[in-house]
Amino acid sequence: MEQENAAVEAFRAEFTDTINKLIVYVPYFKKNKASDVSASYDGKYGKSSLKFPVFDGTLMEFIKVAQNTVLIDRNYPYVYSRNQIKTHEKELQLINRATIRDTGILKGIFSKYVLEGRTKSNRWAEGVEYGIYLAVIEKLKGILDFYKNV
């Protein structure tokens, strides 16, 4: 019992501020899909021969906040190899099954979509389209709420 209380207290200490910062974006992720948050550059400010996405301001604000939270784990590829994650379905399956002891998995999956978006232009939109950001935030909030009175 003491070990469980210690795990709950450690979880609260590590994640409460982060959850409170990110929970405000849940309605945004519930109503938007990738096509709503990104579009190809239309040449409005000059022609370009390169195709690149232009992202919604709210998504960019979320990414900026998310990058500075405890959810970012630069070693996220190890989470993917250790858990043999190769599809979006497997990611969502692991997120849905996660418990208070699986925060490393949640951090790894979340980190992939936040960090890879810097170099792979479609990754941020994928995080919205497949519900990765929403699922991780809601799972962490659910864990926090479950242990509220412990």
- The DSSP-derived string for 40-77 is E--STTS--SS--EEE-HHHHHHHHHHTTSTT--TTHH
Supply the pLDDT for residue 55.
Answer: 75
Query: Among 35-39, 115-119, 137-141, which stretch is predicted with the lowest mean pLDDT?
Result: 35-39
Residue 47, pLDDT above cutoff 60: no
Locus of tokens 């099954």: 97
Locus of tokens 């400010």: 45
Supply the pLDDT for residue 62.
Answer: 96
Supply the pLDDT for residue 56.
Answer: 84
Q: Please provide residue 120's backbone torsions phi and psi, each rounded to the nearest 5 degrees.
A: -115, 105
Record the pTM: 0.88
For residue 54, the cross-strand partners are 39
